[in-house]
């Protein structure tokens, strides 16, 4: 019988060990908190003082793979890095949407948290199916067509027959996903990346609206990524403590000096991708993009056109060639630290303060520009640099991803960061911008309508009557 008086970590090696552990946890009424690999930096793990952290990193097999149907089936311990290496060995013509987090983070973990990627399938939870799930009582179910005898079909067809339950296991505490099929993007024949900048917010509204039109016209595939000047600086260097006389936040004078040093042209830098079937189509698309964006952007550049058959042999660079994982962006977590960035990046070990504010916004320039202005005002109040990114992953909505970066070893910074986080969430709600992902500390901030909350609670009570699986996680009980 399980009787841990404080939280401990267990690492099951197979499905049967997970089943046995959950059955024992039910008998002992001990809470269990599953993690795929423990790299959920900025969103945090369980804050409970007792129970079991179920680390699934040892379940790391690539179960199935089809080049013809463009899918792969993986366990929770399979990382972006491992899948990339697998596809490279296979000389595959397929690519996976990458992450801005660690290449050693879990594909399943990123998907069930509805994490956003960079590449051709940025909203990755829309490109998955065939879940194997262990329920809190230890029983195992499969979503899709597998329960009806459709083994192959379960890898290529999302729904089953009747109700589709796969959505129940995204951002929830209703089951542990132990296998998942992920659809991979076939490489286009030709690919270019492009980048440009906007000097300030005066052109930001118009640019966002024009990019929405380009996406609707299918001239730009995949996501378009925005990074503001603070975000780029944090990826280039650490906080200039000497130039700032050990004061925070960074002032405009030093900001401008550093931007000049690193060749940062404007307030926002934008990167995207153009895919084509041949050179003629590529020339047409790039010309149309230049016509649309001319006059509102500066420093518009397109990379050299190359056939994507050579993709896996290119070195990763700042233009984020799709499908190639990198830890380049992780160094920004050390922005406010006075120690050097570790070669083995680990923000928990090095006490880096990082809180991600993950928000969804209508893809409207006016709305998003107002959000930027409000975020800057709030961050200034709490003496943090407004590290802002947009991910235009869909044609109609955008992700606004803001980082609060600080040093956890500085007294009072944790509390101040939490206040800044809450203030930002509440302030942007009036613009119709809401969180799409929450930290473990903030799950009580969002209150749905009563009928919705009652329904979620009733499902949880039915599936997990002893409330042993991640109590409080996205179930609106507190």
What is the distance between the alpha carbons of residues 64 and 377, in angstroms, rounded to a whole number? Answer: 49
Residue 305 lies in a domain: yes
pTM of the predicted protein model? 0.91
Structural domain includes residue 469: no
- Say if residue 125 is in the same domain as residue 246: no
- What confidence tens digit (pLDDT) does each residue in 148-160 have? 999 999 999 999 9
Q: Is position 93 within any domain?
A: yes
Q: What is the pLDDT of residues 201-251, one digit of tens each?
A: 889 999 999 999 999 999 998 889 999 999 999 999 999 999 999 999 999
Per residue in 168-205, pLDDT tens?
Answer: 999 999 999 999 999 999 988 888 889 999 988 889 99
State the pLDDT at residue 318.
Answer: 40
298 and 406 in a single domain? The answer is: yes
Same-domain pairing of 289 and 421 = yes
Do 112 and 169 meet the contact criterion of CB atoms below 8 Å apart? yes
- Is 92 a member of any domain? yes
What secondary structure does DSSP assign to 223-240, as a single string?
-EEEEEHHHHHHHH----
CA distance 300 to 98: 24
Say if 142 falls within a structural domain: yes
**One domain for residues 28 and 74:** no
- 355 and 265 inside one domain: yes
- Asked if residue 135 belongs to a domain, the reply is yes
With beta carbons less than 8 A apart as the criterion, state whether 190 and 305 touch.
Answer: yes
Q: What is the pLDDT of residue 315?
A: 40
Q: Which helix (H) or strand (E) holds 352?
A: strand 352-362
User: Average pLDDT over the chain, rounded to whole?
Assistant: 90
Q: Give the per-residue pLDDT at 342.
A: 85
**DSSP category for residue 277:** S
Residue 407 has pLDDT above 60, yes or no: yes
- Asked whether residue 82 is domain-assigned, the answer is yes
% of the chain at pLDDT higher than 90: 74
Sheet of 128-134: strand order equals 62-66, 71-74, 176-183, 128-134, 140-142
Ordered alpha helix ranges (H), 217-330:
229-236, 252-262, 279-293
Strands 52-55 and 32-35: parallel
**Which CATH number belongs to the domain containing residue 165 in this structure?**
3.30.465.10
Higher per-residue pLDDT: 309 or 187 = 187
Q: Could you tell me if 175 and 243 lie in one domain?
A: no
User: Is the model's pLDDT at 140 over the cut of 60?
Assistant: yes
**Distance (Å, rounded) from C-alpha 46 to C-alpha 239?**
30
By residue range, what is the domain housing residue 295?
190-437
pLDDT confidence of residue 5: 55
Residues 66 and 43 in one domain: no
**Same-domain pairing of 181 and 295:** no
Considering 130, 158, 186, which residue would you say is the last residue of a domain? 186
Residue 15 belongs to domain with CATH number: 3.30.43.10
The reply to whether 115 and 262 lie within a common domain is no
Enumerate residues 6+ apart whose C-beta is below 8 A from 17: none
Residues 91 and 196 occupy one common structural domain = no
The total of structural domains in the chain comes to 3
Res. 134 pLDDT band, cuts 50 70 90: very high
Within a domain: 459: no
Asked whether residue 174 falls in the same domain as residue 110, the answer is yes
**CA-to-CA distance for 137 and 175, rounded, in angstroms?**
9
Phi-psi region of 119 (alpha: psi -120 to 50; beta: other; left: phi over 0): left
The one-character DSSP state at 51 is S
Q: How far apart are CA 184 and CA 364, in angstroms?
A: 29
Residue 236: CATH number of its domain: 3.40.462.10
Do 304 and 378 reside in the same domain of the chain? yes
How confident is the model over 113-127, as pLDDT tens digits? 999 888 889 999 999
């Amino acid at each position: 019988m399980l009787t841990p008086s404080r939280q401990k970590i267990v690492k099951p090696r197979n499905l049967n060990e997970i089943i046995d552990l959950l059955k024992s946890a039910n008998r002992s009424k001990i809470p269990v908190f599953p993690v795929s690999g423990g790299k959920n930096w900025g969103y945090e793990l369980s804050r409970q003082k007792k129970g079991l952290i179920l680390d699934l990193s040892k379940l790391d097999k690539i179960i199935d793979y089809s080049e013809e149907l463009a899918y792969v089936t993986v366990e929770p311990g399979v990382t972006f890095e491992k899948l990339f290496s697998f596809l490279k060995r296979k000389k595959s013509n397929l690519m996976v949407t990458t992450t801005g987090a660690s290449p050693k983070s879990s594909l399943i973990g990123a998907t069930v948290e509805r994490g956003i990627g960079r590449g051709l399938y940025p909203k990755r939870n829309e490109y998955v199916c065939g879940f194997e799930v262990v329920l809190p009582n230890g029983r195992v179910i499969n979503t899709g067509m597998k329960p009806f005898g459709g083994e192959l079909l379960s890898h290529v067809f999302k729904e089953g027959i009747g109700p589709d339950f796969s959505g129940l296991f995204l951002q929830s505490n209703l089951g542990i996903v132990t296998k998942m099929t992920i659809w991979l993007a076939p490489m286009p024949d030709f690919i270019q990346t492009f980048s440009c900048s906007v000097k300030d917010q005066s052109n930001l509204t118009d640019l966002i609206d024009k990019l929405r039109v380009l996406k609707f016209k299918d001239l730009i595939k995949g996501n378009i990524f925005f990074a503001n000047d603070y975000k780029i600086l944090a990826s280039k260097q650490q906080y200039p403590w000497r130039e700032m006389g050990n004061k925070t936040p960074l002032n405009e004078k030093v900001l401008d000096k550093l931007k000049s040093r690193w060749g940062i042209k404007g307030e926002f830098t934008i990167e995207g991708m153009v895919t084509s079937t041949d050179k003629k189509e590529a020339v047409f698309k790039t010309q149309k993009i230049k016509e649309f964006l001319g006059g509102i952007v500066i420093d518009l550049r397109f990379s050299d056109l190359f056939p994507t058959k050579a993709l896996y042999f290119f070195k990763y660079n700042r233009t984020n060639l799709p499908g190639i994982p990198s830890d380049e962006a992780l160094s920004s977590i050390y922005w406010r630290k006075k120690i050097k960035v570790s070669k083995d990046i680990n923000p928990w070990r090095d006490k880096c303060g990082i809180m991600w504010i993950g928000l969804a916004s209508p893809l409207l320039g006016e709305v998003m520009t107002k959000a930027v202005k409000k975020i800057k005002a709030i961050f200034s109040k709490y003496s943090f640099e407004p590290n802002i990114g947009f991910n235009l992953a869909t044609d109609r909505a955008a992700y606004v991803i803001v980082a609060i970066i600080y040093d956890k070893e500085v007294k009072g910074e944790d509390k101040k960061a939490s206040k800044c986080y809450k203030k930002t969430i509440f302030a942007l709600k009036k613009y119709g911008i809401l969180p799409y992902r929450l930290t473990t500390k903030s799950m009580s901030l969002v209150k749905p309508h009563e009928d919705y909350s009652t329904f979620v609670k009733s499902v949880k009570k039915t599936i997990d009557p002893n409330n042993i699986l991640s109590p409080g996680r996205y179930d609106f009980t507190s």
